[in-house]
Amino acid sequence: MIVLGIETSCDETSVALVEDNTVIANLVYSQIQIHKKFGGVVPEIAAREHLKKLPILFSELINQTNINIEKIDGIAVTKGPGLIGALLVGVSFAKGLALRYKKPLVGINHIIGHVYANYIAYPELKPPYIVLMVSGGHTLILKVEENNSVTILGRSVDDAVGEAFDKIARLLGLGYPGGPEIDKISKNGNPNAFNFPKPKMYDPDYNFSFSGLKTAVLYEIKRLIKNGYNENNLPIADLAASAQEVMIDVLLHKVTKAARDNNLKNIVLAGGVAANSRLREKIRALSEEFNFYIPPLEYCSDNAAMIARAGLERIKSGENDGLNFEPVPNFFEMMST
Ligand code: KG4
Ligand code: ZN
């Protein structure tokens, strides 16, 4: 079965063709260079860029793969959560194709798409498992039951962890997006140089809070400057490595607690922050107790292959959302549809 995937929820325009667990092609156009100068994603610009790039990427996909669109079995598009203008571009485009080629169309939950990125690398993966979903917009611990139903066990009560990486990077004068920058510079830093508080680490629930860490880093910078440092000689690598360590430790503490409490050994990682090299390194120390599933780097950040892979499951079981569904920007609303 071949499914076309379309992803336009944030700042990556992406189209993909997936045949069962094999990605035939996955084209991603990142708008990051455009949003960089604003220090974050500008929703209006994102939507306009999707509008410009999506038809071009789609033609490229068809030319490159030489696959006749008449031959595909269905279309999967990100329905939400995401930026409403951005989502609308993908959903409208997908509806146009579904109508023109008379194909089944399914609207996919972007978060579940991130989880399905793992099935591309690990076809043997089967629920039940615990998910640690860590992106720029969401920090979640989910439980996926044997019947694929999803329960939210925990979430961030304020900033998402990717957002915290981005904001702390900005405080440290590093580029955008901040996650990869902190990851890179931390390799030259001491993760124990600063003792930042570990927010909610020992609370009995599975929730997170990351906005206080950003404030703690800000106060530490101010204290260092008071003590004779200036903007040019701040120990940026140590500050970055110490902040990163707190975030990674809290994430791993909570997700392993959730897995233990639920008697589960399989932990699935998803989302952009799963690309973090320190996270990947620290997971190795836990690999005797748990089986970790981490998507390959190219499928950690937003891409249409994961959307197609999630859609394939639904199209295979005969589902078709038709042409009457709308994008759903809100995560909780999306989880309940
Ligand atoms: O899942 P994603 O590509 O987009 C959504 O937010 O949906 O995640 C993007 C987030 C950004 O906040 C970025 O800074 C973070 O993932 N990120 C990382 C790394 N690579 C990307 N955070 C930590 N370490 C990384 N290597
Ligand atoms: Zn995402």
Full set of structural domains in the chain with CATH = 2-115+300-335 (3.30.420.40), 129-263 (3.30.420.40)
The pLDDT of residue 39 is 82
> In angstroms, what is the span from residue 114 Cα to ligand 2's centroid?
7
pLDDT in tens, the chain (337 residues): 999 999 999 999 999 999 999 999 999 999 989 998 888 889 999 999 999 999 999 999 999 999 999 999 999 999 999 999 999 999 999 999 999 999 999 999 999 999 999 999 999 999 999 999 999 999 999 999 999 999 999 999 999 999 999 999 999 999 889 999 999 999 999 999 999 999 899 999 999 999 999 999 999 999 999 999 998 999 999 999 999 999 999 999 999 999 999 999 999 999 999 999 999 999 999 999 999 999 998 999 899 999 999 999 999 999 999 999 999 999 889 988 7
Please state, in angstroms and rounded to a whole number, the distance separating the CA atoms of residues 317 and 326.
Answer: 22
**Residue 90: CB partners within 8 Å, gap ≥ 6?**
6, 7, 8, 9, 50, 54, 77, 78
Report the DSSP beta bridge partners of residue 16.
5, 26
Q: How many helices (H) and strands (E) does the chain have?
A: 12, 10
> In angstroms, what is the span from residue 134 Cα to ligand 1's centroid?
8
Q: What is the pTM of this model?
A: 0.93
Q: Name the residue of 116, 273, 282, 331 whose CB sits within 8 Å of the most ligand 1 atoms, as the mutation to test its pocket.
A: 273
The pLDDT of residue 336 is 83
Please state, in angstroms and rounded to a whole number, the distance separating the CA atoms of residues 324 and 148.
Answer: 25
Please state, in angstroms and rounded to a whole number, the distance separating the CA atoms of residues 280 and 265.
Answer: 17
Q: Whose CA is nearest to atom 26 of ligand 1?
A: 276
Which stretches within the chain are classed as H helix? 32-36, 43-65, 84-101, 110-121, 161-171, 178-186, 211-226, 236-261, 277-284, 297-300, 304-316, 331-335
Please state, in angstroms and rounded to a whole number, the distance separating the CA atoms of residues 262 and 141.
Answer: 12
Amino acid at position 184, single letter: K
Among candidate residues 204, 225, 223, the one with its CA nearest the CA of residue 215:
223
> In angstroms, what is the span from residue 81 Cα to ligand 2's centroid?
9
Report the DSSP beta bridge partners of residue 208.
156
Q: Quick one: which atom of ligand 1 is closest to the CA of 161?
A: 12
Q: What angle do CA 51, 53, 58 make, to 5 degrees?
A: 105
Strand order in the sheet with 105-109: 22-30, 12-19, 2-7, 74-80, 105-109
Structure tokens at 291: 């089986």
Please state, in angstroms and rounded to a whole number, the distance separating the CA atoms of residues 31 and 10.
Answer: 9
β-strand pairing of 139-144 with 129-134: antiparallel
